[in-house]
Structure 1
Amino acid sequence: MAKVKIGIIGGSGMDDPQLMKERKEKKVKTPYGSPSSPLTVGRINGVETVILARHGKDHSIYPTGVNFRANLYALKEQGCTHILATTAVGSLREKIKPGDLVFVDQFIDFTKHRPLTFHDEKVIHTPMAEPFCKSLRSLLISSAKQLQLRHHTRGTVVTIEGPRFSTKSESHMFRKLGADVINMSTVPEVILARELSICYQTIAMSTDYDCWKEGEEPVTWEMILSIMNKNAANVKKLLLKTILKINHTECACG
């Protein structure tokens, strides 16, 4: 059986020395520059794991400034076969409440200024009909059920450029386009992972209703942080349970 190595993008406290054994930090360089943070490498429940903070350890990198290519390349170079990526999202649907988890299966790209491919010098058209890993999503759903976490088994995420939030008109437009949640980070991360043949799945945590819903306060950064902090323990439990289930032979991404 091929060796499994898990990349976690986002963190969620998983580099806690009580959870991660043989823990050490690694500074790496890639042909695309430095990743957003040093890599934290070690073992979680015996499984080799690499953690990367997408926006830097102190959350100092704004969405457009994230070096997505360096981040993904660094994880590939470390031998990561699977990536679980945590992200905060705004809900565009009544049924997706703040605090809910969404295991998205589709994306809509509304970014504007980000390199979207590793293939700058040759023409390669990567299939993207099913951009996320079905096997990883299935494992996350199973774990969420076992932990009795409120979750949604599928959904479409629209990724905007940021760092500003949406206008009301934009929020309503995204709803009409079929998006269920909105964020600033999934694209191009998911595309680059597919180009590198890494199994990739997003764990989206709903923190707000963006600004489309009457009677709800429009999203603020403070609102996002509040819900994320309240739910960090749930995401940690979900990751711990899912990591143990991942089997390289179950997936055919790439």
Structure 2
Amino acid sequence: MTAAVLGVMGGSGVYDLPGLEDVREEQVRSPWGEPSDALRIGRIGETKVVFLARHGRGHRFSPSGINYRANIDVLKRVGVTDLVSLSACGSFKAELHPGLFVLVDQFVDRTHGRASSFFGNGCVAHVSLAHPVGPALQTRIVAAAEAEAITVHRGGTYVCMEGPQFSTYAESLTYKAQGFAVIGMTNMPEAKLAREAEITYATIAMVTDFDCWHPTHDAVDVAAVVAVARANADKAARLVARLARDFPRERETCPIGTDRALDHAIMTAPAQRDPDLVAKLDAIAGRVLAI
């Protein structure tokens, strides 16, 4: 059995994880380039927890400038099996108000120009992303929220825009009309890469604003977003701490197969694989490439 290791990706306003004990910082090298920051590795209760600040401490990286592949690769290298993304977002629904946590279960990718796969020419692979969020992990987050008396909304679609600008009014109305729940700038291609790495993924979307569709909230500004994000940070840390304390010692078999996503994904015949690309895939796909 594989030991369960909980990864936490901190988004805007979440640059550390209070409650992490026996902490050490580790700079993990990746063939995909430099990750956003050093990993903070410790424990909460009996669970090993690995924290990474998505934008780097001090918020050095824009959504478009994050090296998503390196981030997921280094988490995989230190054994992360389950990854919780803490992400600030805007809301398209009046009932999903600022301060609420939304546990989204679908994504729409509107980004462009970001490297969205570890695979490519020389080693082609196709993973299923029909259900991008691990349902068992999400259920554990719900249970942790209930234990901490934290209100969460389960379900909804997160549309990921390129940024770094916020939406135009026309875009905001369009996304609202399409029935999306929230909007952010970072969960794609992060969720795609986590699936390729066979890391179970779930998002806690922390609502900071109503985007610009709302009649009494027709502009989004950084000051307002940061203020709500910082207010949410302590609540998010409390939720993650409860999740970690109640986490299983061994990795659970995922009901949708996130832990076995590469079983039948690689298309390229062994003799035709690019050895340089295969070498870079040692952590991500070594389990299946070694067969």
TM class by smaller structure: over 0.9
Distance in 2 (CA, whole Å) between partners of 1:28 and 1:143 is: 30
Residue 229 of structure 1 aligns to a residue whose secondary structure is helix
Alignment match, 1:196: 197
Alignment match, 1:73: 73
Deviation at 1:176, TM superposition (A): 2.1
Distance in 2 (CA, whole Å) between partners of 1:151 and 1:42 is: 26
Deviation at 1:49, TM superposition (A): 1.2
Unpaired runs of at least 5, structure 2: 262-291
Unpaired runs of at least 5, structure 1: none
Alignment match, 1:23: 23
Instruction: Give the TM-score normalised by structure 1.
Output: 0.95
Identity of aligned residues (%): 35
Distance in 1 (CA, whole Å) between partners of 2:241 and 2:69 is: 26
The superposition leaves residues 121-158 of structure 1 with CA deviations (integer Å, 9 ceiling, x where unpaired) of 23322111100110111111112122222211111000
Opposite residue 74 of structure 1, the aligned amino acid is V
Distance in 2 (CA, whole Å) between partners of 1:107 and 1:244 is: 28
Distance in 1 (CA, whole Å) between partners of 2:70 and 2:179 is: 31
Deviation at 1:217, TM superposition (A): 4.1
Aligned runs of 1:96-107 on 2, under 5 Å? 96-107=96-107
Residue 73 of structure 2 aligns to a residue whose secondary structure is helix
Deviation at 1:202, TM superposition (A): 0.7
Distance in 1 (CA, whole Å) between partners of 2:160 and 2:20 is: 31
Deviation at 1:22, TM superposition (A): 1.9
1:249 aligns with 2:244: no
Residue 147 of structure 2 aligns to a residue whose secondary structure is helix
Alignment match, 1:139: 140
Distance in 2 (CA, whole Å) between partners of 1:246 and 1:219 is: 37
Instruction: Give the TM-score normalised by structure 2.
Output: 0.83
The superposition leaves residues 49-98 of structure 1 with CA deviations (integer Å, 9 ceiling, x where unpaired) of 11111001110101100000000000000111111110000001111000
The answer to whether the 8 A contact 2:103-2:203 is kept is: yes
Residue 34 of structure 1 aligns to a residue whose secondary structure is coil
Residue 21 of structure 2 aligns to a residue whose secondary structure is strand
The answer to whether the 8 A contact 1:160-1:183 is kept is: yes
User: Greater CA deviation, 132-141 or 64-73?
Assistant: 132-141
Alignment match, 1:63: 63
Opposite residue 249 of structure 1, the aligned amino acid is E
Alignment match, 1:180: 181
The answer to whether the 8 A contact 2:10-2:85 is kept is: yes
Residue 30 of structure 1 aligns to a residue whose secondary structure is coil
Distance in 2 (CA, whole Å) between partners of 1:126 and 1:250 is: 17
Aligned runs of 1:1-254 on 2, under 5 Å? 1-10=1-10, 12=14, 14-16=16-18, 19-121=19-121, 122-247=123-248, 248-251=251-254, 252-253=257-258, 254=261
The answer to whether the 8 A contact 1:136-1:246 is kept is: no
Distance in 2 (CA, whole Å) between partners of 1:205 and 1:15 is: 16
Deviation at 1:42, TM superposition (A): 1.3
The answer to whether the 8 A contact 2:16-2:53 is kept is: no
The answer to whether the 8 A contact 1:135-1:250 is kept is: no
Opposite residue 153 of structure 1, the aligned amino acid is R
Residue 57 of structure 2 aligns to a residue whose secondary structure is coil
Residue 252 of structure 2 aligns to a residue whose secondary structure is helix
Deviation at 1:244, TM superposition (A): 2.4
The superposition leaves residues 13-57 of structure 1 with CA deviations (integer Å, 9 ceiling, x where unpaired) of 6544xx222211111221111100011111121211111110011
Alignment match, 2:289: none
User: Greater CA deviation, 237-246 or 179-188?
Assistant: 237-246
Opposite residue 53 of structure 2, the aligned amino acid is A
Distance in 2 (CA, whole Å) between partners of 1:14 and 1:45 is: 17
